[in-house]
Structure 1
Amino acid sequence: MFDKVDLVFNYGGKWVLHPQVVYIKKQNHVWEGYDPDLLSYVDICNEYIEKLGFRVVKQLLVTGPSGRYFLVESDAGIRTLQSYLSSEFCVLQFFAVDESEDNVSAPNIIYHKEPCFVSVDVGTDCESGGEEDDDNEPVPDSEELELFRKEKKREVNEKLDRFLVLEKGMSFKDLDEAKRVVSHYAVSNKKGLKVDHSDNHRVRYKCDSGCPFVCLISEDNKNQGFKIKTLHLEHNCQPTFKNRRATQQALAHYFKNKVQNNPKYKVKDMRQDLDDQFSLNISASKMKRVKRLILEKLEGSYLDDFNRLEAYAQELRDSNPGTDVVINISKEALEQGKRRFLRMYVCFQALKSGWRGGLRPFIGLDGTFFKGKCREILLVALGQDSQKHFYPLAWAVVDRETSRTWKWFIQLLRNSLELADDEGLTLMSDMQKGLIDAVTHVLPKAHHRWCVRHIEAKWSKMWRGIEMKKLMWWSAWSTYEEEFHDQLNSIGVVSEQAVKYLLWYPADHWCRTYFDTVCKNFSVENNFTESFNKWILEARNKSIIKMLEDIRIKVYLFEYKGFVNLYAIS
């Protein structure tokens, strides 16, 4: 037995199951110098659950000396793994499959023997030939390569046109995937198929109408998984409009991306899409169960995104040098051995450079809710370019909109944009919870404007009418003090109490008369931040990483188009 080993716990990435099993974009947690005699299956699983944020370790995998993945299901597997330890194999790479992830197809380590590599000195009396003999090298069959290419492209699209044909020898990772592919084949071809025989090792399909069609899928004895071994594709039946192969699982797989991108996707629209694409009649009750199944699965994927946030943040830093990405985790949860997300801040280097390159010292602040399963809040900071278009500067995901989270966000924004001397800076915002105190605390010299629309919404609850609103807006638009007082007097003619209530909001925060002139912007409303919130409305329905990626891509394309237009004008 080798004296000491290093245990590497891989987490925070994702499994790629086709064309071969591999775990990508991972993070590492290491136990160095561990006594291999103390290795325990339970201890390894507990480390993933208590320290790395896993809910349940559904599968535990390890890579052998050759790099191949093996399942470890108990201490018997650990003992088999111990037998492979050597000076060349003393770092154990562990991987875990969480409760919400798909199962990984891999052999059990106790039933497979890994080759051991030993250094051997070889002597010979024969002269070596000038060229090596390559005749024994295996040459891949062109038919196998073609099947491999088709399997790689087996993805669901709206018309299921990648499932129109089944082929003998087509392979699948497990029986569930095989059944799903046959279901998509039946739906896309409008053919009714029934299960003639099914168990844990095989499934046989025949046509409902007695056609010669036969499809037998069973375990592949040479490789892992399952494959089509018998296939007769002949059909002479009429198209079917009530297909028993349109199971809940198959339909959930078909609609998964659509529901994920739009959780408000209606059941009647789902039924209409099936009718338009495949002339398929599905009952409303069944379609409700399909959507419920999708949402239950997506809830797990929403939580998985939080487990991958740190890996995503590191990817942003690596691919965008100089970018500020900050993640805060609950200290109280860490003390209990758990990892609970609190806040995440993003500010790209390119956006910082654009701010320093000549934007006016004017920043709009706003917060908006997520629309999907996650109920976090998105805080945004926007500038304005020379054409008065919004210019995204930074954004953050927080658990609640409070004075503490706003202070945290504005402090990071101040550091990213180098706003050490905040004199001459103007901020525009609504009167959100805790935001006014946060601005006063972090940027005390900055001028803080309040959106007049927000003031109007509160003020007009007591003093209604179009004329009163006009007088209120004319007061806000006044550019010199005498005009401002004249408008207040006009309001006072209607109601003196209305003037007192309006002046409860300090005029230097919402009237142009008292605005600072350094930023050269006299806006009295925060419409451009509201435009940004509407601009990312679709992204706000998605899980956190997909939402952040959508925002990143939209901002990139937006800035690129702006640069192209500016270059064309110049």
Structure 2
Amino acid sequence: MDNLLNEIERSNAIYNLSGVDADQNHENELESDESECDEIHNAEQDDSDYSTDNDDEHIPTAPWFETEEINVNSDKQSAISAIKEYHIRSSRNFHVVKSDTTRYEASCVMKDCPWRIRVMRSKKSGLFVTTKLPAEHTCVLMTLERDHKKLTSRMIADVIKLQVIDSPYLKVSNIRNQITSMYNYHVSYKKAWIGKQKAISDVYGDWMTSYAKLPIFFSALIHFNPGTIAFIDAEAHSTKPNTSVCKRIWWGFKSMIDGWQHAPPVISIDGTFLKGKYNGKLLIAMGYDSNNQQYPIAYALVHEETTVNWSWFLHHLRLYVCQNRKSVCIISDQHAGIIEAMKMVESGFTGKWGIHRFCLLHLRSNFCSAFLGAHLKMLCWMVGSTSQVRKFEAAMTQIKEINLDAEIWLRKIPLEMWTMSRELFETVEKKTSSHKVIPYNEQRGVFEIVTAQYRTINRYWKGGNKHNVDLYRGFALVENGIDIIFHVHILWKVV
């Protein structure tokens, strides 16, 4: 009973905030704090648990705190967060006196202010309870700052954690606006960004943990998608034993690989940057379906877009995707690593197995970076996309008239790598070289062509048709009597 009466008197002394007695009570409390600190220091030498039974019975409340979470907390961090939030909202500050696994003590940064708090872990419940909270802040704020020292990136992460779960792509500007509306403080962009990264780490794990989970992830991917190809190329760590370092990863889904076997033999490859702690590049192979829509086939993660990595990517693309399919057209940008990798036999796309062409979009983008102007941009696209040599030369002439260096720049790139007209001309010329052409009749303006015969895949014979070409009237008369009106530029060769 005596202990209970003493405790009641002590509580009354602590929280009696009325007028004249306030200062005296504050001084008494500070003296009590010093004596209790000495007692706790002595207890640290005897026992690692600093809480007492009286601490469990006494849980004081402070009327000036806006939250009751300060009184009983499940862990130490929750108590610290509640203390920080109170000081941020009231535009006050404090410094830590002592902090360990079972106790947290803090006091006001102003020496004349009596505010002091102690949060300790209860021996009975294991919860962190407030055991000392003497008085309200009496210090006067001299200036108001735009940012608060206790409004850390860790606290911002705790505030936005639920929003990151709903949307990992939360904008930093929105985070700054939210913190301003909640606490009336303006945090810097860097602090808000770090807070977002910490929240993402809390929800999804940090970078090292994510990489460590890759083997488990791909094992589950293969298990739930039978036939899917996925493997990790790793090497032993140079200094840490029993530790592997991820070099590169390749994977492709069976359903997409099987579907591509019925799609056109055209694949676009490209790489993009990965934004994160370890950077890296994401390589992708994209096909096209019968509706000319994008059709993703295979992916890879590598450190850099080097010739070795591109050759490794193409090798597995040939092995698992293209397989025995011949004349596969690979479209890419003018990356030096891709150009060299396509020439390597181990990549699997040399000779009859593959054709390399440049992407006109990438080429035009590079062209526009070197030569400005909307008209030049339009002409560059016309040069690459037209199937007629006449229109190709006309567009190149216009480019030359506008900027001679632009025309030289385009012609330095092998025309067969990026223009349809040059490839069409060479293809038609190659086919027509095997046709039989009857000598031209100058009086009538007519000549005859007998197409070459060849056997199809189904072992049917095609060709051998006779065509009477009338240059004056603009049509060709075939043996079956059908007139073909010329809508395109005719490429022919008299032999």
TM-score tier (shorter): 0.5 to 0.7
Assess, with a 3 A threshold, how the Cα gap between structure 1 residues 179 and 498 changes in structure 2: closer, same or farther: closer
Give the match for residue 10 of structure 2.
none
Matched, 1:275 2:275: no
Give the match for residue 374 of structure 1.
278
Equivalent pair of 1:183/1:245 in contact (CA under 8 Å)? no
**1:338 deviation in Å?**
5.3
Give the match for residue 172 of structure 2.
265
C-alpha separation in 1, matches of 2:318 and 2:86? 56
C-alpha separation in 2, matches of 1:262 and 1:402? 30
Matched, 1:410 2:317: no
**1:443 deviation in Å?**
1.6
Matched, 1:218 2:112: no
AA aligned opposite 1:345 = W
2:157 to 253, 267, 272: 253
C-alpha separation in 2, matches of 1:309 and 1:379? 17
User: What percent identity do the matched residue pairs reach?
Assistant: 21
Assess, with a 3 A threshold, how the Cα gap between structure 1 residues 433 and 385 changes in structure 2: closer, same or farther: same
1:420 to 323, 326, 329: 323
C-alpha separation in 2, matches of 1:493 and 1:193? 71
Matched, 1:352 2:352: no
2:225 to 320, 342, 361: 320
2:355 to 428, 441, 447: 447
Q: Deviations over 1:194-234 (max 9, x none)?
A: 789855333478999xxxx99974224356x54337799xx
Equivalent pair of 1:183/1:250 in contact (CA under 8 Å)? no
Equivalent pair of 1:180/1:250 in contact (CA under 8 Å)? no
Structure 1 unaligned runs (5+)?
1-110, 112-162, 517-570
Structure scoring higher RCO (CA < 8 A, sep ≥ 6) equals: 1
Equivalent pair of 2:236/2:243 in contact (CA under 8 Å)? no
Q: What are the within-5 Å matches in structure 2 for residues 159-558 of structure 1?
A: 166=69, 170-172=73-75, 175-183=76-84, 199-200=99-100, 201-203=102-104, 217-222=119-124, 226-228=127-129, 246-248=150-152, 250-254=154-158, 265=172, 270-280=175-185, 301-330=206-235, 333=238, 339-356=244-261, 358-417=262-321, 419-440=322-343, 441=345, 442-444=348-350, 445-459=353-367, 465-491=373-399, 499=407, 501-513=409-421
Q: Deviations over 1:354-412 (max 9, x none)?
A: 434x4433322111112333321111122234554433222222111111111111222
Specify the SS of the correspondent of 2:285.
strand
C-alpha separation in 2, matches of 1:221 and 1:276? 40
C-alpha separation in 1, matches of 2:196 and 2:393? 60
Equivalent pair of 2:272/2:282 in contact (CA under 8 Å)? yes
Specify the SS of the correspondent of 2:277.
coil
C-alpha separation in 1, matches of 2:404 and 2:108? 84
**1:179 deviation in Å?**
1.6
Equivalent pair of 1:333/1:340 in contact (CA under 8 Å)? no
Specify the SS of the correspondent of 1:340.
strand
**1:434 deviation in Å?**
1.0
Equivalent pair of 1:215/1:228 in contact (CA under 8 Å)? no
Q: Deviations over 1:509-535 (max 9, x none)?
A: 22223569xxxxxxxxxxxxxxxxxxx
Equivalent pair of 2:307/2:337 in contact (CA under 8 Å)? yes
C-alpha separation in 2, matches of 1:429 and 1:272? 42
Assess, with a 3 A threshold, how the Cα gap between structure 1 residues 410 and 184 changes in structure 2: closer, same or farther: farther
Q: Deviations over 1:471-520 (max 9, x none)?
A: 3322212223444344445556667776554333222322223569xxxx
C-alpha separation in 2, matches of 1:497 and 1:446? 33
Structure 2 unaligned runs (5+)?
1-47, 49-65, 110-114, 425-495
**1:326 deviation in Å?**
1.9
C-alpha separation in 2, matches of 1:421 and 1:221? 72
C-alpha separation in 2, matches of 1:466 and 1:193? 59
- The farther-off stretch of 479-488 and 495-504 is 495-504
**1:467 deviation in Å?**
4.4
Specify the SS of the correspondent of 1:372.
coil
Assess, with a 3 A threshold, how the Cα gap between structure 1 residues 345 and 280 changes in structure 2: closer, same or farther: same
Equivalent pair of 2:329/2:354 in contact (CA under 8 Å)? yes
**1:320 deviation in Å?**
3.1
**1:248 deviation in Å?**
2.3
Assess, with a 3 A threshold, how the Cα gap between structure 1 residues 329 and 255 changes in structure 2: closer, same or farther: farther
C-alpha separation in 2, matches of 1:341 and 1:294? 26
Assess, with a 3 A threshold, how the Cα gap between structure 1 residues 505 and 334 changes in structure 2: closer, same or farther: farther
C-alpha separation in 1, matches of 2:176 and 2:266? 49
**Which has the higher Rg, Structure 1 or Structure 2?**
2
Equivalent pair of 1:403/1:438 in contact (CA under 8 Å)? yes
Give the match for residue 438 of structure 2.
none
Equivalent pair of 1:214/1:230 in contact (CA under 8 Å)? no
Equivalent pair of 2:172/2:196 in contact (CA under 8 Å)? no
Assess, with a 3 A threshold, how the Cα gap between structure 1 residues 180 and 388 changes in structure 2: closer, same or farther: farther
Equivalent pair of 1:194/1:245 in contact (CA under 8 Å)? no
Give the TM-score normalised by structure 2: 0.53
C-alpha separation in 1, matches of 2:400 and 2:280? 43
Equivalent pair of 1:252/1:291 in contact (CA under 8 Å)? no
Equivalent pair of 2:72/2:127 in contact (CA under 8 Å)? no
AA aligned opposite 1:179 = I
Give the match for residue 555 of structure 1.
none
Equivalent pair of 2:104/2:119 in contact (CA under 8 Å)? yes
AA aligned opposite 1:361 = P
Specify the SS of the correspondent of 1:180.
helix
Equivalent pair of 1:450/1:510 in contact (CA under 8 Å)? yes
AA aligned opposite 1:221 = K
Give the TM-score normalised by structure 1: 0.47
AA aligned opposite 1:367 = G
C-alpha separation in 1, matches of 2:276 and 2:324? 39
C-alpha separation in 1, matches of 2:132 and 2:221? 48
C-alpha separation in 2, matches of 1:255 and 1:407? 46
AA aligned opposite 1:397 = L
Equivalent pair of 1:192/1:245 in contact (CA under 8 Å)? no
Assess, with a 3 A threshold, how the Cα gap between structure 1 residues 390 and 190 changes in structure 2: closer, same or farther: farther
Equivalent pair of 1:398/1:405 in contact (CA under 8 Å)? yes
C-alpha separation in 1, matches of 2:190 and 2:409? 51
